């Protein structure tokens, strides 16, 4: 059973790599961003509330995000392992996730951090915005999201580094190259998970 977290700044390729890793390891990828976008599209109460924060480039409040993650991790397909993408993003969320997992005697096995230069990320996200028409991808919002990542999420990275379960992987390059780096990091850093 593999329980892992993929973390990195916006535009670092987390979603793409999460999909590929979950396929290779046979575990479900759980993306809070995908769940939020689904709810926004369906105009659910969660989606309407979340859209205000997403469009401003802010994080959706912990109260909404935490309960959503708790419900998702309780589903049958997550019992044999999972890959979290986009959660936790704050130290408070790390503690909440620890509590959820501790209730069933579990903990995270590995945390992979995709790294990338901010200017490269801005370039990538502006290109994605042109292709997809995402309302949350304009330069001001992108830079705000990167600033939030650096000020809030890097504390999450430090917490997992202190626990000795963090592995950093260069997120720049062709998709296949990054996937191979990620899989090699899993094999080298946590051989029992590969």
* 63 is an annotated ligand-binding site residue: no
* 13 is an annotated ligand-binding site residue: yes
Q: Tell me the CATH number of domain 2-180, given options 3.30.70.1400, 3.40.50.300, 1.10.8.60, 3.90.1720.10.
A: 3.40.50.300
**Extended beta strands in the chain, E state:** 2-7, 28-31, 81-85, 110-115, 166-170
In percent, how much of the chain has pLDDT > 70? 95
pLDDT for the residue 174:
93
pLDDT for the residue 143:
93
Mind listing the pLDDT tens digit for each residue in 48-83? 888 888 888 787 888 888 888 888 898 899 988 999
Check the CA dihedral 159-161-163-166 and report its sign. Answer: positive
d(CA 44, CA 31): 18
* 3 is an annotated ligand-binding site residue: no
Is 145 marked active-site? yes
Mean local confidence (pLDDT), 172-188: 91
Read off the DSSP letter of residue 72: H
* 87 is an annotated ligand-binding site residue: yes
Is 14 marked active-site? yes
* 59 is an annotated ligand-binding site residue: yes
pLDDT for the residue 32:
86
Is 89 marked active-site? yes
Task: State both tokens at 11.
Answer: 């535009």
**Choice among 62-71, 112-121, 139-148, 185-194 with the minimum mean pLDDT:** 185-194
Write down the catalytic residue from 3, 20, 51, 89. Answer: 89
Find all residues with CB under 8 Å of 118, minimum gap 6, and list them.
9, 146
In percent, how much of the chain has pLDDT > 90? 51
Structural contact between residues 73 and 82, judged by C-beta atoms closer than 8 angstroms: yes
pLDDT for the residue 191:
39
Write down the catalytic residue from 134, 143, 168, 181. Answer: 134
Is 128 marked active-site? yes
């Amino acid at each position: 059973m593999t329980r892992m977290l993929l973390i990195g700044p916006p535009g670092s390729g987390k979603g793409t790599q999460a999909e590929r890793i979950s396929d290779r390891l046979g575990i479900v990828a759980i993306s809070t961003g995908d769940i939020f976008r689904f709810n926004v599209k369906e105009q659910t109460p969660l989606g309407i509330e979340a859209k205000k924060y997403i469009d401003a480039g802010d994080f959706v409040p912990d109260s909404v995000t935490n309960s959503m993650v708790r419900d998702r991790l309780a589903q049958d397909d997550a019992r044999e392992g999972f890959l979290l993408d986009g959660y936790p993003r704050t130290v408070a969320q790390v503690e909440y996730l620890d509590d959820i997992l501790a209730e069933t005697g579990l903990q995270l096995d590995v945390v992979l951090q995709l790294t990338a230069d901010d200017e490269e990320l801005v370039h990538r996200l502006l290109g994605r915005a042109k292709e997809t028409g995402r309302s949350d991808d304009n330069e001001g919002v992108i830079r705000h999201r990167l600033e939030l990542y650096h000020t809030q999420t890097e504390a999450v990275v430090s917490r997992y580094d202190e626990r000795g379960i963090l592995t950093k992987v260069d997120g720049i390059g062709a998709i296949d190259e990054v996937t191979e780096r990620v899989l090699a990091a899993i094999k080298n850093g946590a051989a029992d998970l590969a």
